[in-house]
Chains A and B, each alone.
Chain A
Amino acid sequence: NAGVTQTPKFQVLKTGQSMTLQCAQDMNHNSMYWYRQDPGMGLRLIYYSASEGTTDKGEVPNGYNVSRLNKREFSLRLESAAPSQTSVYFCASSEEMAGLETQYFGPGTRLLVL
């Protein structure tokens, strides 16, 4: 099993450009998540999907959109990138969202917006 995979690993954008970060999991998990990680700010939840067909805003959703394409895939889109979106983005999945379910994380995408 590959677990959680993310593409690309690294991306440089200019302000105003758009891009989609891809995430896929092969563990048949119901719930998926997008986080961003910034120095001193820890891990902040952008959007999550409790199950296929549903998405919800997290702590910092502004400037992002998501699509739960199917049970395996959960993409994050930046429509008009800004320097404040320079960050490391992590996708994660879990079998369910509640209780003791473990979240499994991808390796991350480093995004630099100039």
Chain B
Amino acid sequence: GNSVTQMEGPVTLSEEAFLTINCTYTATGYPSLFWYVQYPGEGLQLLLKATKADDKGSNKGFEATYRKETTSFHLEKGSVQVSDSAVYFCALNRPGNTPLVFGKGTRLSVIA
């Protein structure tokens, strides 16, 4: 079936460290891929997205590249800030009229 697997957290980093959160997927066809972020006490919001192989989504210094050969969509940021502390969810949308499939989320804590 269609699924998303994220690295387990929590991830704790010092400010200005490099961030990678791994995400791999299993899907039939060619899904669209997303990263959503959930700040403390809030609902999820879209961070970035990509629709086809080799597309790079980017926003707020975060980037992720759609890698079809490794079925991956890893999230990266070169220098994290305390304000990036949140839970990050990888998700995919299958072709056709079906809902998003979310990963279990990865909690990131950035300490000053």
Which residues of A does B touch, CB under 8 Å?
4, 33, 40-43, 45, 48, 50, 58, 90, 92, 96-108
Size band of the interface chain B makes with A? 20 to 34
Within 8 Å by CB of B43, from A50, A98, A105, lies: A105
Please determine whether A42 and B102 come into contact, CB atoms closer than 8 angstroms. Answer: yes
Please determine whether A98 and B95 come into contact, CB atoms closer than 8 angstroms. Answer: yes
Query: In the assembled complex, which residues on chain B have CB atoms less than 8 Å from the CB atom of A98?
Result: 93, 95-98
Distance of A105 Cα from B87 Cα, bound (Å): 14
B100 within 8 A of A: yes
Please determine whether A43 and B89 come into contact, CB atoms closer than 8 angstroms. Answer: yes
Stretch of B18-26, B44-52, B64-72, B76-84 that contacts chain A: B44-52
- Closest A residue to B6 by CB, please name it: A42
13 new A-B pairs (CB below 8 Å) besides A42-B102, A99-B51? A40-B104, A41-B104, A42-B105, A43-B89, A90-B44, A96-B97, A97-B97, A98-B95, A100-B51, A102-B49, A103-B44, A104-B45, A107-B43
